[in-house]
Copies of this chain bind each other. A is one copy, B any other.
Amino acid sequence: MAGEQHRKGQEKRLDLSPFPIRTDLAREAHDMALGRRQKGEGVPGVHAEEREENGILTSWIRIEDQEGARELGKLPGLYLTLEIPDLRSQDSELQRRVAQHFSDQFQQFLKQAGIPENASVLIVGLGNWNVTADALGPFVVKHTMVTRHLFQLMPEQVEEGYRPVSAISPGVLGTTGMETSEIVLGVVERTKPDVVIAVDALASRALNRVNTTIQVADTGINPGSGVGNKRKALNKETLGIPVIAIGIPTVVDAATIAHDTIDFVLAHLQREMSQQNGKMSNPLDPLNRANVKELQSQEVPTETRSQVLGMVGGLDPNEKRQLIEEVLNPLGQNLIVTPKEVDAFIGDMGKLVADGLSCALHNSVTLDNVSSHVN
């Protein structure tokens, strides 16, 4: 990730980015903000920590105030991100380990977000079950244990270690004719859960995040997020109760592939030319994590930079945008793409999140007995 952080930072310092970079992931936004600063300097208004263990990178980011929000382009709140680069290898041992870790971290997240242990929960599976890449939410709803009806119909028979959980897949605007937020608000008003957990498939900026990253946030679901068009917010303001969002990137805009490629080529050429001009004696692999510190400490004189830019044709943002469009038009009308193994990936990830949720929400449910609780 540090390599990526560098890359994004690099492109920012050189001001090559044609678009304001938008990401649904606080983790990415934080990396970018770090990249815009001196090395070692933190982002004001943001508290972040991370650790890697067993192939799982866990990061907690709290955006504490409006300054942090501005810096990251995200709402103030708590963000938990799990990154598991190997998750697409379909290794069932790893999946189980991640499910357990997700369950533990999610339980901690609920605590930190101030959700009481016996709070009743409504799980909302956002997305369109007819489009596999957008079906993660409905898939999780299908496989998560629900218990609210037991509490309602035979409360005396519900054992210790469970809490009331209900779940709904409200569909999407195009198939229901109704805003998802209208449906969820109606259901919340009638069934009065204490908290909503909304699960959604996200569009990622980077193919390598697809089906390898899980983000949890206490800010809810806000306009513009997600694979489909879910235009109205699901948050404490609109629903009147806390909304915890679980988001997983499942698709990527083909444009970002082209966009990142162009940045790479330009960065490469700039380095090449710096070398030719004798100003940069050490052509660094921008993805080589070992070299990151060295690179960041390099002082590239301003005059060199502008010279380099002049030589590669001085692409201004408009030119760059046009170049990307030229590339993308023949590539196929700005398609949103997903890995061809999408069926298996959504199934694996959905099962992981569903099992993790069942374990996190009910103390009596563990990964060993979860399959006897749900079908």
- A168 is an interface residue with CB less than 8 A from chain B: yes
Are A257 and B331 closer than 8 Å at their CB atoms?
Answer: yes
| A208-B330, A331-B208 known; A265+B191 contact, CB < 8 A | no
Chain B residues positioned under 8 Å from A286 (CB to CB): 326
Q: Is the CB of A338 closer than 8 A to any CB of chain B? A: yes
Considering the complex, give the chain B residue whose CB is closest to the CB of A338. Answer: B340
Q: A372 is contacted by which of B93, B147, B261, B371 (Cβ under 8 Å)? A: B93
Residue contact A254 to B257, C-beta cutoff 8 Å: yes
Residue of B nearest to A88 (CB): B333
CA distance A174 to B373 in the complex (A): 12
Looking at chain A's contact residues, the main secondary structure is helix
Whole-angstrom CA separation of A90 from B210 in the bound complex = 26
Stretch in A62-70, A109-117, A268-276, A290-298 touching the partner? A268-276
> Could you tell me which residues of chain A, from 194 to 218, have a CB within 8 Å of some CB in chain B?
206-210
User: How far, in angstroms, from A227 to B342 measured CA to CA in the complex?
Assistant: 14
Copies in the complex: 4
Q: How many whole Å from A330's CB to the nearest CB in chain B?
A: 6
Q: 1/0 per position for A140-166, CB-CB distance to B under 8 A?
A: 011000111110000000000000111
A71 contacts chain B at the CB level, 8 A cutoff: no
Check if A258 is an interface residue, CB within 8 A of chain B.
yes
Question: Is the Cβ of B91 less than 8 Å from the Cβ of A341?
Answer: no
**CB-CB < 8 A to A131: which residues of B?**
340-341, 343-344
Query: Which of B3, B134, B208, B264 is the one whose CB lies under 8 Å from A340?
Result: B134
Are A191 and B187 also in contact (CB < 8 A) when A177-B146, A336-B340, A372-B93 are? no
Of the candidate stretches A19-27, A38-46, A97-105, A178-186, the one touching chain B is A178-186
A331 touches B130 (CB 8 A): no
Is residue A175 contacting chain B, with contact meaning CB distance below 8 A?
Answer: yes
Contacts of A146 in B (CB 8 A): 174-177
Residues on B with C-beta less than 8 A from A337 are 207, 252, 254, 337-340
Max chain B C-beta neighbours (<10 A), residue from A171, A266, A339, A340: A340
Q: With a CB–CB cut-off of 8 A, which chain B residues contact A349?
A: none
What's the Cα separation between A147 and B287 when bound, in Å? 38
> In the complex, what residue of chain B is closest to A268 when comparing beta carbons?
B323
**CA of A93 to CA of B313, assembled, Å:** 46
**Given B173, B285, B331, which contacts A260 in the complex, CB threshold below 8 Å?**
B331
